[in-house]
Chain A
Amino acid sequence: MKKVKTTVIGSYPVQINNMELMKKYFNQTEISWEKYIKKAVEDMVNAGIDLISDGQTRDPFVNIFFRKLKGCRIRDRAEVIDKIEHVEPITVEDQKYVKTLLPPGKELIGLLTGPYTLTKTCVDLFYNDEKQLAFDFADALRKEAKILQKHVHMIGIDEPFFSISIPEYARELIVKIIKGLSCPTRLHVCGDVSNIVPKLLEIPVDVLSHEFKASPHLFNVFKDYSFKQHICLGSVRSDDTRVETAEEIKTHIEKGIETFNGRISQISPDCGLRLLPRNVAFQKLKNLVKAKEAITIW
């Protein structure tokens, strides 16, 4: 049986020391973010997570991309003011750094914020055509993915806005990014996806990732379908500071095993952990690992 991996959706809470950054400004010395990435990665490693992310400590997950894509600028919200173009690697350097921190046996997931989510979270002052904007974001993300695939074990695409209003071109949009990639891919859609499951199942990624802990009714919804993708089972809440016990998580995973049989390939928090206190996020990951280890059939 293929190993089921513990993983994360993306973000991890690390406190940024603003005064330290400011002192570097006053001394005119180089600013590095590696310290913060390292903290996030070390916590994931120490918690026992198998497939690790860079923690997305630099920015909220949309701003990481808005900040570096040509055609965008960040004001109160991100604004699109010109044609979207990928002009430089966005996340690649951080992944290279994370790889230097990983002990043997640990793997790395590279993360992309989905084109539809980018489209829905910006103020479009240029295109006036949502579909065209989404496809230009997808094109830019495809370029990022092509570089990224050489440095990571899997690429995850985070598309929370699909759960609010999935467009009829959702499949086409994601395919544009993943087509021809040599590494496996995961699509994460948080929120209640119960009404869009058939559309999600049309998308040819390797793994579908959803919030099964916050939306346990999804077990019943997925029961009605047969599908090829594997499942990343959201197993601890990312919007609640209560730390689930390993026993509670184990019971949840068992429910997942019952529903999906052998299709679970990853277990993770429901979503990014950015908004939780760091000690809470760490404990949740530890208990997630403990619960997975207690599953005897794995």
Chain B
Amino acid sequence: MFSFTKEQKTLEISGVKIGGQPGMYPTVLFGGLFFKGEPDFENAKKHIQNMLSLSKKTGNPGIPDFFIRREEHLESIIDFIEENLPTGYPFSIDIIEPSLKIIALETLHKRKLLHRTIYNSIHIGVTDEEREALQKHTPEMAILVAFNPKDKSSDGKIEVLSNGANLLDKGLIDISKEVGVKKTLVDTAALAPGENSGASIAAIPVVKEEYGLPTGCAIHNVVEKSTWLNEFKTARKTVDVSSNINIPLYGGDFAIYGPIENTDLVFPVIAWQDILVSEYTENYFGVSPVDYHPRRKFF
């Protein structure tokens, strides 16, 4: 447990604060919806309510991450967001295809939702058209995925953020500034087991010390790809959920923890870890937790 010498930025979206020195703010938790098949809105509604309730209990902000795979799902998912999230509550949209990302930005602009939107994500696959669309319809916050196919180490992640690793004309940080995104989070790009998967955790303090930006990752993806765990079926979920504690332990600010169905387990586990970190960082570094931090809630 540590504190950074570099000044740490705290960013805010619709009242949710993210970043700062370890132990100051509770870890922000992104739970994913609609990964497969047709969106199941009834189920989603139930899980979001549960996420909001647990968030209130532990103090860890929960952000629904809407995976949008097809254009025909876009309007209905946005309708769902408007109707089911508390007024002004932030959410993230998680889209792979650049053309669909552009349509989503236009739609979010028309629906006046960009100020609540976390754009997941800007990465080496960003196209010129996507950059234009981001400039025209700028989301409040964006996640930069520091995936560098040339170098999976922490250095490679810094390289893609700072200069684009010769795959882009500039680094992801400069691209986000150029398109006008003022608030950026860094996802350290968790890779499959055997592909230097630990670097996504090791890179968290490196990125925070280099840029002072809120940083985290989807370490859950590594567990999902750990096929050897199939031999330990009853342990899989425990491993999946507990993998997320690495993020606050290494000074990270947010965890993209996979399916929102894991909320019941992830929130208390992360709250426990946040308390552990906060106890030390307050005693040793004098970093006081905010009043809604799990340590304030439970002690």
Residues of A within 8 A of B (CB): 16, 18-19, 21-26, 28-31, 58-60, 63, 67, 73-76
> When the two chains form their complex, are residues B159 and A22 in contact, meaning their CB atoms are under 8 A apart?
no
> When the two chains form their complex, are residues B163 and A76 in contact, meaning their CB atoms are under 8 A apart?
yes
Give A75 to B206 CA distance when docked, in angstroms: 13
> When the two chains form their complex, are residues A22 and B123 in contact, meaning their CB atoms are under 8 A apart?
yes
Is B30 in the interface zone, CB < 8 Å from A?
no
CB-based nearest B residue for A31? B149
Give A76 to B210 CA distance when docked, in angstroms: 12
> When the two chains form their complex, are residues B191 and A25 in contact, meaning their CB atoms are under 8 A apart?
yes
Is B88 in the interface zone, CB < 8 Å from A?
no
Total A-B contacts with CB atoms under 8 angstroms apart: 58
- Pairs A–B under 8 Å by Cβ, sample size 12: A18-B125, A18-B167, A18-B168, A23-B96, A23-B125, A25-B147, A25-B149, A26-B96, A58-B150, A74-B156, A74-B159, A76-B163
Is B189 in the interface zone, CB < 8 Å from A?
yes
List 19 other contacts, CB 8 Å, given A22-B125, A74-B165. A16-B167, A18-B126, A19-B125, A21-B125, A21-B149, A22-B96, A22-B123, A25-B145, A28-B191, A29-B192, A30-B195, A58-B150, A59-B166, A67-B151, A74-B151, A74-B156, A74-B159, A75-B158, A75-B162
Q: How far is the CB of A79 from chain B (nearest CB, A)?
A: 10
Q: Which of A22, A29, A60, A76 contacts B166 (CB 8 A)?
A: A60
Give A58 to B148 CA distance when docked, in angstroms: 12
Collect the chain B residues with CB atoms within 8 Å of residue A18's CB: 124-126, 167-168
Interface membership of chain B positions 136-153, coded 1 if the CB is closer than 8 angstroms to chain A and 0 otherwise:
000000000101011100
> When the two chains form their complex, are residues B125 and A63 in contact, meaning their CB atoms are under 8 A apart?
no
Collect the chain A residues with CB atoms within 8 Å of residue B192's CB: 28-30
CB-based nearest A residue for B97? A19
> When the two chains form their complex, are residues B166 and A21 in contact, meaning their CB atoms are under 8 A apart?
no
Give A21 to B124 CA distance when docked, in angstroms: 9
* Number of B residues, CB within 8 Å of A: 29
Q: How far is the CB of A65 from chain B (nearest CB, A)?
A: 13
Is B225 in the interface zone, CB < 8 Å from A?
yes
CB-based nearest A residue for B189? A25
Q: How far is the CB of A105 from chain B (nearest CB, A)?
A: 33
Is B155 in the interface zone, CB < 8 Å from A?
yes
Is B238 in the interface zone, CB < 8 Å from A?
no
Give A23 to B96 CA distance when docked, in angstroms: 8
> When the two chains form their complex, are residues B147 and A22 in contact, meaning their CB atoms are under 8 A apart?
yes
Collect the chain B residues with CB atoms within 8 Å of residue A19's CB: 98, 125, 127
Collect the chain B residues with CB atoms within 8 Å of residue A28's CB: 191-192, 195, 221, 224-225
CB-based nearest A residue for B192? A28
> When the two chains form their complex, are residues B166 and A63 in contact, meaning their CB atoms are under 8 A apart?
yes
Q: Which of B124, B151, B155, B162 contacts A76 (CB 8 A)?
A: B162
Q: How far is the CB of A18 from chain B (nearest CB, A)?
A: 4
Collect the chain A residues with CB atoms within 8 Å of residue B168's CB: 18
Collect the chain A residues with CB atoms within 8 Å of residue B163's CB: 75-76
Collect the chain B residues with CB atoms within 8 Å of residue A23's CB: 96, 125
Collect the chain B residues with CB atoms within 8 Å of residue A75's CB: 155, 158-159, 162-163
Give A30 to B193 CA distance when docked, in angstroms: 11
Give A120 to B289 CA distance when docked, in angstroms: 48
Collect the chain A residues with CB atoms within 8 Å of residue B167's CB: 16, 18, 21
- Evaluate whether A22 and B124 lie within 8 angstroms (CB atoms) in the complex, with A60-B166, A74-B159, A75-B162 already known: yes
Q: How far is the CB of B153 from chain A (nearest CB, A)?
A: 9
Q: How far is the CB of B270 from chain A (nearest CB, A)?
A: 23
Collect the chain B residues with CB atoms within 8 Å of residue A59's CB: 150, 166
